[in-house]
A = this chain, B = another copy of it.
Amino acid sequence: MKAEIISIGTELLLGEITDLNAAYLASQLPLLGLDLHFISTVGDNKIRLIETLDHAWKRSDIIITTGGLGPTEDDVTREAIAEFCHETISIDQSLVDQFKNLFRQFNMEMPESNIKQAAVIPSCQIIPNPRGTAPGWWVEKQGHVIISMPGPPSEMQLMWNNVIAPRIKEKYCSSVIISCTIKTFGLSEAKLGELTRSYLLHDNPSVGIYAKPDGIHLRVTAKAETEERAKSMVDKTVKELRQIAGEYIWGIDNDTLEGLISNIFISKNLSLATLEINTGGILANMITATAESTKFYKCGIVINHNRLRPDFGMNENVMMQYGDISQQTAKEAATAVKRRFNSSVGVGLIGVMENEAPDYKPGTIIIGIDDGNHNYSFQRIFPGNRTQIKQRAAVSALFELRKIML
């Protein structure tokens, strides 16, 4: 079945708020097996909202609107739906009484304007709103459904989860959808796209490719009549993709690099210290994104290469011989910080942001890792601005660290 989302509110068209409702609903619809082909955003304007409902009606079975159910003059969602359905609005006295009771609980009198929110039309069923005075509407007509929910995300999500999603599932869901996201790092989107080209053209299971700050993700989605069947379709494709992307894969679904690192260090009872040269603490910041980091992350040093010399017990000869920016210096930084803070593992990370070193292009990243047995180094180069280079430096370091620690 086809679903369509309409987000209503002039504040969305002025860029005053970001539309979180559409993204939330969009993430929920696949779980119900609904196909979402369009999201529209329209202001609090009755004529344009009717036009949008009309387009949606012609191409979708289920239309889900959020917003425009408030008590003020500019909230016109109810009026627009009524007019679109050629139905007449009346006031539901039992809803008015409920509102009055609600206000009484807070020792307030109900403002006259709230009466507007008790409006109903013959084809609508009222959906209760436990968090506010904007009830939802479920309008069934000629094989289509229009579902209207309030704009505040907490009210909308509660209504969605309590009533709307279960009702849609019961009435319309025949198939099951399952998906799995494979997270990779080290291949460009274009390269991974080339390698997985035949999969990207498939329909079911379908494979999507997404560039993210932590690498390139592949999402495999399958639709089937039973959960078992959908799962086996996903599993088969994931297995094949694993053979293609192999060593570049670092996680699946909700895995994060910092979460995986945290699990490895805690389970092995190891500790970590880092020394960042020119990357300004992005690695420390990423490692400490998890609360568990307090259990294994000992200390981070953040310094610029031109301030490096006298500190932290680094062997000056190494820097003299190979330069502040070099694989040898990254290794020395890893060893020095490991020794200085008595940690099991040390990571040295060097970023070349501009023209700090004539032999290294901007975007070069050098990683040193001392795990107590061996001292590794890696070098990569990335395009991008300062913020992007920093971000990719941290991701690179965690990606290599994870591989070594396994």
B354 contacts A209, C-beta separation under 8 Å: no
- Choose the segment among A67-75, A139-147, A167-175 that binds chain B (4+ C-beta atoms closer than 8 Å): A67-75
Contact with A39, one of B13, B131, B387 (Cβ below 8 angstroms):
B13
Residues of B within 8 A of A191 (CB): 111
Whether, in the assembled complex, A353 has its beta carbon less than 8 Å from a beta carbon of chain B, the answer is yes
Q: Tell me the nearest residue of chain B to A297, going by C-beta.
A: B304
A51 to chain B, nearest CB (A): 8
In the bound assembly, the distance between CA atoms of A43 and B5 in angstroms comes to 13
B42 contacts A41, C-beta separation under 8 Å: no
Whether, in the assembled complex, A48 has its beta carbon less than 8 Å from a beta carbon of chain B, the answer is yes
Which of A59, A112, A154, A307 has the most chain B CB within a 10 Å cutoff?
A307
B37 contacts A40, C-beta separation under 8 Å: no
Residues of B within 8 A of A209 (CB): 16, 72, 74
In the bound assembly, the distance between CA atoms of A208 and B9 in angstroms comes to 10
Given known A-B contacts A13-B36, A111-B188, A284-B280, A301 and B302 have beta carbons under 8 A apart = yes
- Choose the segment among A18-26, A77-85, A320-328 that binds chain B (4+ C-beta atoms closer than 8 Å): A18-26
In the bound assembly, the distance between CA atoms of A279 and B40 in angstroms comes to 39
Q: Give A105-139 interface residues, CB cut-off 8 Å to B.
A: 105-107, 111-114, 131-132
Whether, in the assembled complex, A358 has its beta carbon less than 8 Å from a beta carbon of chain B, the answer is no
A22 to chain B, nearest CB (A): 7
1/0 per position for A348-365, CB-CB distance to B under 8 A? Answer: 000001100000010100
A203 to chain B, nearest CB (A): 12
Whether, in the assembled complex, A303 has its beta carbon less than 8 Å from a beta carbon of chain B, the answer is yes
In the bound assembly, the distance between CA atoms of A300 and B285 in angstroms comes to 12
A285 contacts B294, C-beta separation under 8 Å: no
Whether, in the assembled complex, A406 has its beta carbon less than 8 Å from a beta carbon of chain B, the answer is no
Q: Give the number of times this chain occurs in the complex, counting copies.
A: 2
B152 contacts A193, C-beta separation under 8 Å: no
A177 to chain B, nearest CB (A): 11
B294 contacts A112, C-beta separation under 8 Å: no
In the bound assembly, the distance between CA atoms of A10 and B248 in angstroms comes to 24
Given known A-B contacts A23-B19, A72-B209, A301-B299, A154 and B14 have beta carbons under 8 A apart = no
Residues of B within 8 A of A20 (CB): 18
In the bound assembly, the distance between CA atoms of A280 and B341 in angstroms comes to 16
Contact with A11, one of B40, B112, B208, B284 (Cβ below 8 angstroms):
B208
A386 to chain B, nearest CB (A): 6
Residues of B within 8 A of A55 (CB): 55
Q: Tell me the nearest residue of chain B to A133, going by C-beta.
A: B190
Residues of B within 8 A of A304 (CB): 293-294, 297-298
Which of A42, A71, A74, A302 has the most chain B CB within a 10 Å cutoff?
A302
B48 contacts A38, C-beta separation under 8 Å: yes
- Choose the segment among A234-242, A261-269, A366-374, A377-385 that binds chain B (4+ C-beta atoms closer than 8 Å): A377-385
A307 contacts B298, C-beta separation under 8 Å: yes
Whether, in the assembled complex, A281 has its beta carbon less than 8 Å from a beta carbon of chain B, the answer is yes
15 contacts between A and B (CB under 8 A): A13-B26, A13-B37, A15-B25, A16-B27, A18-B18, A72-B193, A73-B197, A73-B200, A106-B381, A106-B383, A111-B191, A113-B193, A131-B385, A154-B388, A289-B386
**Closest 3 CB pairs between A and B?**
A280-B288, A15-B27, A281-B284
Given A280-B293, A281-B285; 14 other pairs, CB 8 A cutoff: A11-B210, A14-B26, A14-B30, A14-B219, A15-B27, A18-B19, A38-B40, A72-B193, A72-B209, A132-B383, A281-B288, A288-B390, A300-B303, A301-B301
